[in-house]
Amino acid sequence: MGEIRGEVILPTQSLRNDLPFFTNVLGLRLDSIFPADDPAVAVLSGHGMRIRLEAGHAAAPGQLRILADEPDAIAGGKRFLTSPGGTKVAIGILNPPTVKPPTQHAFVVRRLADRAPWVIGRAGMHYRDLIPTRLGGSIIASHIRIPDGGPVPDMVHFHKVGFQLIFCYRGWVDVVYEDQGDPIRLTAGDCFIQPPEIRHRVLEASDGIEVIEIGVPAEHVTEIDHEMALPNARLRPDREWQGQRFVHNTCRGAEWRPFRQPGFQCRDTTINHNTRGVAGVEVIRRGQGEPSWTRHDCDILFGFVMAGKMTLEGNGEEPCLLSPGDAFVTPPGMASRWFDPSDDIEILEVSLPGSFTTEIDV
């Protein structure tokens, strides 16, 4: 197959005046123009695009969006322009910093028995929203499943996030990561921290694979990397992405210690340390003593019941019996208690930030 070339057509009502605008002001390159005696079409390229200006075209005026690391270097720092021929141009920042909206704190309970819909998302995966309000856009928590195992139709991609957790709830999944060597199998009880913008690809999953995915902020961009092939040859376990390291934490041989709440024990996943305090992730089980009423000052404190049962009590809220598949959020300053937990209770807890204070009511 020979060369293939694509163009976006932009109508113009003034080709003669548009040419200096697109070349001198926007910095595009003129590639062709015709006919010579009375030009009606000009083709220009640059900034990763190729456009075709056509005089007298019947379509409505077009729009261009140009993103740059230094947008002030284009068009004298102007952000919105209109060409003489009618094309509207918006100029912005190529990689704006990730901003987490202020958290809209709320007491949230999301029960599996409520039969919230599963939505078909990226790569054919099924998503169930665990925090419908998303606390004002500050966080998204998803219960994700792939009913039929096998190869996953995924591509090398990355996420523009501040924090992202993948915790394997059931089954197993193979994923390959940038600078982390060969594909890694994540099994039930294990988790990954995907630092901001680390390239990765999901390869294969078992039948009935289920994971819990946490992303901050709730709305973030996923980009495809068409250039990188994974696995790549490098193995750099100490590499950081925006101050965070990749984590593959396994439950095998984990050490258990007293939890911050009486009556429970927990195992740390090293995520607080490896994100420099951005977030913490712990798995909690029944321990010694009786549960107490507590309150915390954590901005976001999310829980997901993986096994067993307990009653979640919140000051001013109706007690709620929680079972596997249920999720909850307790806001800062609110007194709550994990009452009457079963001996096989197991809870995934995610906190942002990773370190915070808990007060025990006596």
pLDDT per residue as tens digits for the range 6-32: 999 999 999 999 999 999 999 999 999
Q: Which CATH superfamily is domain 112-249 in?
A: Jelly Rolls (2.60.120.10)
Burial letters for 132-168: b for 16+ Cβ neighbours within 10 Å, e otherwise?
A: eebbebbbbbbbbbbeeeeebebebbbbebbbbbbbb
For residue 305, name the pLDDT band (cuts at 50, 70, 90): very high
Residue 123 confidence (pLDDT): 63
Distance, CA of 348 to CA of 127 (rounded, Å) = 18
Boundaries of every domain in the chain: 8-93, 112-249, 257-360
Q: What mean pLDDT do residues 118-137 have?
A: 86
Q: CATH: 3.40.50.1370, 2.40.40.20, 2.40.128.720, 2.60.120.10. Which one for 257-360?
A: 2.60.120.10
How crowded is residue 65: how many other Cβ atoms within 10 Å of its Cβ? 11
State yes or no: pLDDT of 340 exceeds 90: yes
State yes or no: pLDDT of 116 exceeds 90: no
pTM for this entry: 0.88
Q: Which CATH superfamily is domain 8-93 in?
A: 2,3-Dihydroxybiphenyl 1,2-Dioxygenase, domain 1 (3.10.180.10)
Q: Is 8-93's fold the same as 112-249's?
A: no
pLDDT per residue as tens digits for the range 250-297: 999 999 999 999 999 999 999 999 999 999 999 999 999 999 999 999
217 preceded by a cis bond (ω within 30 of 0)? yes
Q: What are phi and psi of 174, to 5 degrees?
A: -100, 130
Cβ pair 279, 351 in contact under 8 A: yes
Which runs of E-coded beta strand occur in 3-78?
8-12, 29-34, 41-46, 49-55, 63-68
Handedness of CA 130, 351, 212, 178 (dihedral sign): positive
Which runs of E-coded beta strand occur in 217-292?
221-224, 240-241, 244-245, 247-249, 257-258, 264-268, 280-286
Burial letters for 313-325: b for 16+ Cβ neighbours within 10 Å, e otherwise?
A: bbeeeeeeebeeb
